[in-house]
Structure 1
Amino acid sequence: MRSNLVEALIGVVVLVVAGAFLYVVYTKTDVSAGSGGYRLQARFDQVGALSAGSDVRLSGIKIGSVVDQRLDPQTFQAVVEFTIADSVKLPSDTIIKVGSEGLLGGNYLQVEPGGAPDNLVAGEEVQFTEGYVDLMSLVSRYVFSSEGGNGSSSGN
Protein backbone atom coordinates (compact mmCIF):
# COMPACT_ATOMS: atom_id res chain seq x y z
CA MET A 1 0.00 0.00 0.00
CA ARG A 2 2.83 2.33 0.86
CA SER A 3 4.43 1.98 -2.61
CA ASN A 4 1.12 2.90 -4.29
CA LEU A 5 0.98 6.11 -2.24
CA VAL A 6 4.57 7.01 -3.19
CA GLU A 7 3.86 6.35 -6.85
CA ALA A 8 0.71 8.48 -6.71
CA LEU A 9 2.61 11.36 -5.08
CA ILE A 10 5.36 11.13 -7.72
CA GLY A 11 2.70 11.20 -10.42
CA VAL A 12 1.13 14.33 -8.91
CA VAL A 13 4.53 16.04 -8.71
CA VAL A 14 5.22 15.18 -12.36
CA LEU A 15 1.85 16.63 -13.42
CA VAL A 16 2.44 19.84 -11.43
CA VAL A 17 5.91 20.28 -12.96
CA ALA A 18 4.53 19.63 -16.47
CA GLY A 19 1.76 22.18 -15.89
CA ALA A 20 4.27 24.78 -14.67
CA PHE A 21 6.44 24.11 -17.72
CA LEU A 22 3.49 24.60 -20.09
CA TYR A 23 2.53 27.83 -18.32
CA VAL A 24 6.07 29.22 -18.67
CA VAL A 25 6.24 28.23 -22.35
CA TYR A 26 2.84 29.82 -23.04
CA THR A 27 3.73 33.12 -21.38
CA LYS A 28 7.33 33.43 -22.60
CA THR A 29 6.80 32.47 -26.25
CA ASP A 30 3.77 34.76 -26.66
CA VAL A 31 1.59 32.02 -28.13
CA SER A 32 -1.46 34.22 -27.70
CA ALA A 33 -0.06 36.98 -29.98
CA GLY A 34 -1.57 35.42 -33.11
CA SER A 35 -5.09 35.48 -31.67
CA GLY A 36 -5.28 39.16 -30.76
CA GLY A 37 -4.87 42.29 -32.82
CA TYR A 38 -6.14 43.20 -36.25
CA ARG A 39 -5.52 41.34 -39.51
CA LEU A 40 -3.82 42.77 -42.58
CA GLN A 41 -2.61 41.18 -45.78
CA ALA A 42 0.20 41.82 -48.24
CA ARG A 43 1.29 40.42 -51.62
CA PHE A 44 4.83 39.34 -52.43
CA ASP A 45 6.61 37.93 -55.48
CA GLN A 46 8.78 35.76 -53.21
CA VAL A 47 8.37 34.88 -49.51
CA GLY A 48 11.26 32.43 -49.04
CA ALA A 49 10.78 30.22 -45.97
CA LEU A 50 8.13 32.45 -44.37
CA SER A 51 5.40 30.36 -42.77
CA ALA A 52 2.39 30.61 -40.50
CA GLY A 53 3.58 31.53 -37.02
CA SER A 54 6.53 33.62 -38.23
CA ASP A 55 7.08 36.92 -36.43
CA VAL A 56 6.00 40.35 -37.61
CA ARG A 57 8.56 42.84 -36.25
CA LEU A 58 8.88 46.58 -35.95
CA SER A 59 12.31 47.87 -34.88
CA GLY A 60 13.22 44.27 -33.99
CA ILE A 61 10.28 43.89 -31.60
CA LYS A 62 7.54 41.35 -32.26
CA ILE A 63 4.22 43.11 -32.88
CA GLY A 64 2.32 40.27 -34.52
CA SER A 65 2.40 36.93 -36.31
CA VAL A 66 1.87 35.50 -39.76
CA VAL A 67 -1.50 33.75 -39.74
CA ASP A 68 -1.87 32.34 -43.24
CA GLN A 69 -0.36 32.38 -46.71
CA ARG A 70 -1.71 31.27 -50.05
CA LEU A 71 -1.04 31.61 -53.76
CA ASP A 72 -3.19 33.96 -55.86
CA PRO A 73 -4.00 31.88 -58.97
CA GLN A 74 -4.43 34.97 -61.20
CA THR A 75 -1.24 36.88 -60.35
CA PHE A 76 0.86 33.95 -59.01
CA GLN A 77 1.84 36.11 -56.05
CA ALA A 78 2.02 34.96 -52.45
CA VAL A 79 -0.75 36.51 -50.33
CA VAL A 80 0.26 36.67 -46.68
CA GLU A 81 -2.20 37.38 -43.88
CA PHE A 82 -0.83 38.57 -40.56
CA THR A 83 -1.93 40.15 -37.30
CA ILE A 84 -0.73 43.37 -35.72
CA ALA A 85 -1.19 44.14 -32.00
CA ASP A 86 -4.10 46.50 -31.32
CA SER A 87 -1.73 48.93 -29.59
CA VAL A 88 0.26 49.45 -32.83
CA LYS A 89 -1.40 51.73 -35.39
CA LEU A 90 0.41 51.59 -38.75
CA PRO A 91 0.23 54.45 -41.28
CA SER A 92 -1.32 53.59 -44.65
CA ASP A 93 2.02 54.01 -46.46
CA THR A 94 3.79 51.39 -44.33
CA ILE A 95 6.28 49.10 -46.10
CA ILE A 96 6.30 45.37 -45.32
CA LYS A 97 9.46 43.41 -46.19
CA VAL A 98 10.36 39.74 -45.89
CA GLY A 99 13.44 39.74 -43.67
CA SER A 100 15.86 36.96 -42.85
CA GLU A 101 17.45 35.91 -39.56
CA GLY A 102 20.72 35.18 -41.38
CA LEU A 103 22.10 32.65 -43.82
CA LEU A 104 20.58 29.68 -42.01
CA GLY A 105 17.82 31.40 -40.03
CA GLY A 106 14.13 31.68 -40.65
CA ASN A 107 12.21 34.52 -42.23
CA TYR A 108 9.94 37.15 -40.70
CA LEU A 109 7.97 40.20 -41.80
CA GLN A 110 9.77 43.47 -41.19
CA VAL A 111 7.55 46.55 -40.79
CA GLU A 112 8.75 50.03 -41.78
CA PRO A 113 6.07 52.58 -40.91
CA GLY A 114 5.49 55.52 -43.23
CA GLY A 115 4.34 59.03 -42.43
CA ALA A 116 0.80 59.14 -43.79
CA PRO A 117 -1.83 60.70 -41.51
CA ASP A 118 -4.35 57.87 -41.99
CA ASN A 119 -3.83 54.37 -40.58
CA LEU A 120 -4.35 50.87 -41.95
CA VAL A 121 -7.57 49.23 -40.77
CA ALA A 122 -8.44 45.59 -40.18
CA GLY A 123 -8.75 43.57 -43.38
CA GLU A 124 -6.87 46.09 -45.51
CA GLU A 125 -4.07 45.15 -47.91
CA VAL A 126 -0.65 46.77 -47.49
CA GLN A 127 0.27 48.35 -50.83
CA PHE A 128 4.04 48.69 -50.41
CA THR A 129 5.95 45.40 -50.10
CA GLU A 130 9.39 43.97 -50.78
CA GLY A 131 9.77 40.23 -51.26
CA TYR A 132 12.46 37.86 -50.10
CA VAL A 133 15.92 38.33 -51.60
CA ASP A 134 17.75 35.05 -52.13
CA LEU A 135 21.35 35.81 -51.15
CA MET A 136 22.76 32.65 -52.73
CA SER A 137 21.29 33.45 -56.16
CA LEU A 138 22.67 36.99 -55.95
CA VAL A 139 26.14 35.68 -55.13
CA SER A 140 26.02 33.10 -57.92
CA ARG A 141 24.90 35.74 -60.42
CA TYR A 142 27.81 37.95 -59.40
CA VAL A 143 30.32 35.09 -59.59
CA PHE A 144 29.14 33.86 -62.98
CA SER A 145 28.83 37.36 -64.46
CA SER A 146 32.39 38.25 -63.39
CA GLU A 147 33.73 34.95 -64.77
CA GLY A 148 32.13 35.65 -68.14
CA GLY A 149 33.67 39.11 -68.23
CA ASN A 150 37.14 37.78 -67.42
CA GLY A 151 36.95 34.98 -69.96
CA SER A 152 36.07 37.26 -72.91
CA SER A 153 38.73 39.89 -72.11
CA SER A 154 41.53 37.31 -71.74
CA GLY A 155 40.77 35.89 -75.17
CA ASN A 156 42.29 39.01 -76.90
Structure 2
Amino acid sequence: MRNNVIETVMGAVVLMIAGFFLTFAYTNSGYRTSNDSISYHAVFDRVDGLVVGSDVRMSGVKIGSIREMSIDPKTYLANVVLAVNSQIKIPKDSSAEIVSDGIMGGKYLALVPGGDDDMLKANAQIEHTQSSVSLEAMIGQLIFSPKNKEAEGDKEKSHP
Protein backbone atom coordinates (compact mmCIF):
# COMPACT_ATOMS: atom_id res chain seq x y z
CA MET A 1 0.00 0.00 0.00
CA ARG A 2 2.83 2.39 0.89
CA ASN A 3 4.48 1.84 -2.55
CA ASN A 4 1.27 2.84 -4.34
CA VAL A 5 1.11 6.17 -2.48
CA ILE A 6 4.78 6.95 -3.26
CA GLU A 7 4.32 6.03 -6.94
CA THR A 8 1.21 8.20 -7.15
CA VAL A 9 2.94 11.19 -5.58
CA MET A 10 5.99 10.75 -7.86
CA GLY A 11 3.71 10.53 -10.91
CA ALA A 12 1.95 13.75 -9.88
CA VAL A 13 5.32 15.50 -9.43
CA VAL A 14 6.48 14.36 -12.88
CA LEU A 15 3.23 15.62 -14.46
CA MET A 16 3.58 19.00 -12.71
CA ILE A 17 7.18 19.37 -13.93
CA ALA A 18 6.14 18.44 -17.49
CA GLY A 19 3.31 20.99 -17.32
CA PHE A 20 5.75 23.64 -16.12
CA PHE A 21 8.14 22.96 -19.03
CA LEU A 22 5.32 23.02 -21.59
CA THR A 23 4.04 26.34 -20.21
CA PHE A 24 7.56 27.77 -20.19
CA ALA A 25 8.22 26.65 -23.78
CA TYR A 26 4.91 28.07 -25.03
CA THR A 27 5.32 31.47 -23.38
CA ASN A 28 8.91 31.87 -24.61
CA SER A 29 8.37 30.60 -28.15
CA GLY A 30 7.18 33.96 -29.46
CA TYR A 31 4.01 32.35 -30.83
CA ARG A 32 1.10 34.71 -30.58
CA THR A 33 -2.49 34.06 -31.52
CA SER A 34 -3.43 37.71 -31.27
CA ASN A 35 -6.14 39.08 -33.52
CA ASP A 36 -4.61 42.50 -32.95
CA SER A 37 -2.86 42.61 -36.32
CA ILE A 38 -3.23 44.30 -39.71
CA SER A 39 -2.71 42.47 -43.00
CA TYR A 40 -0.66 43.86 -45.88
CA HIS A 41 0.20 42.43 -49.29
CA ALA A 42 3.51 42.40 -51.16
CA VAL A 43 4.47 40.97 -54.57
CA PHE A 44 7.91 39.44 -55.19
CA ASP A 45 9.76 37.84 -58.12
CA ARG A 46 10.99 35.08 -55.83
CA VAL A 47 10.52 34.16 -52.17
CA ASP A 48 13.18 31.45 -51.75
CA GLY A 49 13.47 30.34 -48.12
CA LEU A 50 10.45 32.27 -46.90
CA VAL A 51 7.65 30.15 -45.42
CA VAL A 52 4.27 30.76 -43.83
CA GLY A 53 5.01 31.71 -40.24
CA SER A 54 8.36 33.39 -41.00
CA ASP A 55 9.09 36.58 -39.10
CA VAL A 56 8.29 40.08 -40.31
CA ARG A 57 10.84 42.42 -38.75
CA MET A 58 11.45 46.14 -38.65
CA SER A 59 14.84 47.35 -37.45
CA GLY A 60 15.58 43.76 -36.38
CA VAL A 61 12.54 43.53 -34.09
CA LYS A 62 9.77 41.03 -34.83
CA ILE A 63 6.54 42.89 -35.53
CA GLY A 64 4.54 40.20 -37.29
CA SER A 65 4.64 37.05 -39.40
CA ILE A 66 3.91 35.74 -42.88
CA ARG A 67 0.29 34.67 -43.02
CA GLU A 68 -0.08 33.35 -46.57
CA MET A 69 1.86 32.89 -49.83
CA SER A 70 0.53 32.14 -53.31
CA ILE A 71 1.33 32.48 -57.01
CA ASP A 72 -0.56 34.87 -59.26
CA PRO A 73 -1.53 32.66 -62.23
CA LYS A 74 -1.42 35.62 -64.65
CA THR A 75 1.92 37.20 -63.73
CA TYR A 76 3.61 34.19 -62.09
CA LEU A 77 4.75 36.43 -59.26
CA ALA A 78 4.62 35.46 -55.59
CA ASN A 79 1.92 37.16 -53.51
CA VAL A 80 2.73 37.38 -49.81
CA VAL A 81 0.24 38.33 -47.11
CA LEU A 82 1.84 39.52 -43.90
CA ALA A 83 0.23 40.23 -40.54
CA VAL A 84 1.77 43.11 -38.59
CA ASN A 85 1.07 44.28 -35.04
CA SER A 86 -1.68 46.92 -35.27
CA GLN A 87 0.28 49.32 -33.06
CA ILE A 88 2.97 49.61 -35.75
CA LYS A 89 1.99 52.16 -38.41
CA ILE A 90 3.77 51.69 -41.74
CA PRO A 91 4.42 54.68 -44.05
CA LYS A 92 3.13 54.35 -47.64
CA ASP A 93 6.60 54.53 -49.20
CA SER A 94 8.03 51.71 -47.07
CA SER A 95 9.74 48.76 -48.70
CA ALA A 96 9.71 45.03 -48.02
CA GLU A 97 12.76 42.86 -48.63
CA ILE A 98 13.52 39.22 -48.04
CA VAL A 99 16.79 38.84 -46.16
CA SER A 100 18.81 36.06 -44.55
CA ASP A 101 19.25 35.64 -40.84
CA GLY A 102 23.00 35.00 -41.21
CA ILE A 103 24.80 32.72 -43.67
CA MET A 104 23.14 29.48 -42.57
CA GLY A 105 20.04 31.04 -40.98
CA GLY A 106 16.52 31.15 -42.31
CA LYS A 107 14.90 33.98 -44.20
CA TYR A 108 12.57 36.66 -42.95
CA LEU A 109 10.77 39.65 -44.40
CA ALA A 110 12.28 42.99 -43.38
CA LEU A 111 10.15 46.12 -43.56
CA VAL A 112 12.12 49.30 -44.16
CA PRO A 113 10.03 52.32 -43.17
CA GLY A 114 9.82 55.23 -45.58
CA GLY A 115 9.46 58.91 -44.82
CA ASP A 116 5.90 59.50 -46.04
CA ASP A 117 3.45 61.11 -43.62
CA ASP A 118 0.58 58.95 -44.96
CA MET A 119 0.31 55.44 -43.55
CA LEU A 120 -0.72 52.21 -45.29
CA LYS A 121 -4.28 51.14 -44.66
CA ALA A 122 -5.29 47.56 -43.82
CA ASN A 123 -4.96 45.13 -46.78
CA ALA A 124 -2.92 47.68 -48.76
CA GLN A 125 -0.09 46.57 -51.02
CA ILE A 126 3.52 47.42 -50.24
CA GLU A 127 4.75 48.74 -53.58
CA HIS A 128 8.52 48.64 -53.13
CA THR A 129 9.86 45.08 -52.76
CA GLN A 130 13.21 43.35 -53.05
CA SER A 131 13.19 39.63 -53.72
CA SER A 132 15.27 36.94 -52.11
CA VAL A 133 18.89 36.70 -53.22
CA SER A 134 20.02 33.21 -54.18
CA LEU A 135 23.32 32.40 -52.50
CA GLU A 136 23.93 29.54 -54.94
CA ALA A 137 23.50 31.86 -57.94
CA MET A 138 25.91 34.40 -56.45
CA ILE A 139 28.56 31.74 -55.81
CA GLY A 140 28.12 30.36 -59.34
CA GLN A 141 28.43 33.85 -60.78
CA LEU A 142 31.62 34.43 -58.80
CA ILE A 143 33.16 31.14 -59.89
CA PHE A 144 32.23 31.34 -63.55
CA SER A 145 32.54 35.08 -64.15
CA PRO A 146 34.68 36.18 -67.15
CA LYS A 147 36.81 38.35 -64.87
CA ASN A 148 38.12 35.27 -63.04
CA LYS A 149 38.91 33.47 -66.30
CA GLU A 150 40.92 36.49 -67.53
CA ALA A 151 42.89 36.53 -64.26
CA GLU A 152 43.68 32.82 -64.67
CA GLY A 153 44.87 33.43 -68.23
CA ASP A 154 47.19 36.20 -67.03
CA LYS A 155 48.71 33.86 -64.43
CA GLU A 156 49.40 31.19 -67.06
CA LYS A 157 51.11 33.74 -69.35
CA SER A 158 53.41 34.98 -66.58
CA HIS A 159 54.69 31.47 -65.71
CA PRO A 160 57.07 29.88 -68.29
TM-score scaled to structure 2, two decimals?
0.86
Say which one has the larger Rg.
Answer: 2
* Whole-angstrom CA distance in 2 between matches of 1:11 and 1:43: 53
* Correspondence for 2:15: 15
Q: CA-atom RMSD, angstroms?
A: 2.0
Alpha carbons 1:38, 1:86 under 8 Å: kept: yes
Whole-angstrom distance in 1 between the partners of 2:2 and 2:41 = 61
SS in 2 for 1:25: helix
CA distance in 2, matches of 1:53, 1:41: 15
Shift of 1:33: 5.7
Partner of 2:64: 64
- Aligned partners of 1:42 and 1:80 also within 8 Å: yes
1:139–1:126 distance in 2 versus 1, CA, 3 Å? same
- The DSSP-based 3-state class of the residue aligned with 2:144 is helix
Aligned residues of 1:34 and 1:66 also touching (Cα < 8 A)? no
**5+ residue gaps, structure 2:** none
Which residue number corresponds to residue 79 of structure 2? Answer: 79
> Which consecutive unaligned segments of at least 5 residues does structure 1 have?
none
Q: Match for residue 133 of structure 1? A: 133
CA–CA distance in 1 between the matches of 2:35 and 2:106?
Answer: 22
Range that drifts further, 138-147 or 46-55: 138-147
Deviations 1:16-45 (A, max 9, x none): 222222222222122116653111121111
Instruction: Give the equivalent residue in structure 2 for 1:99.
Output: 99
Query: How has the CA–CA distance of structure 1 residues 143 and 32 changed in structure 2, closer, same or farther, with 3 Å as cutoff?
Result: same
The question of whether the paired residues in 2 share the 8 Å contact of 1:69 and 1:81 is answered with yes
Q: Give, as a single letter, the amino acid of the residue that structure 1 aligns with 2:97.
A: K
Query: Structure 1 length as normaliser, TM-score?
Result: 0.88
- SS of match in other structure, 1:115: coil
* Number of corresponding residues: 155
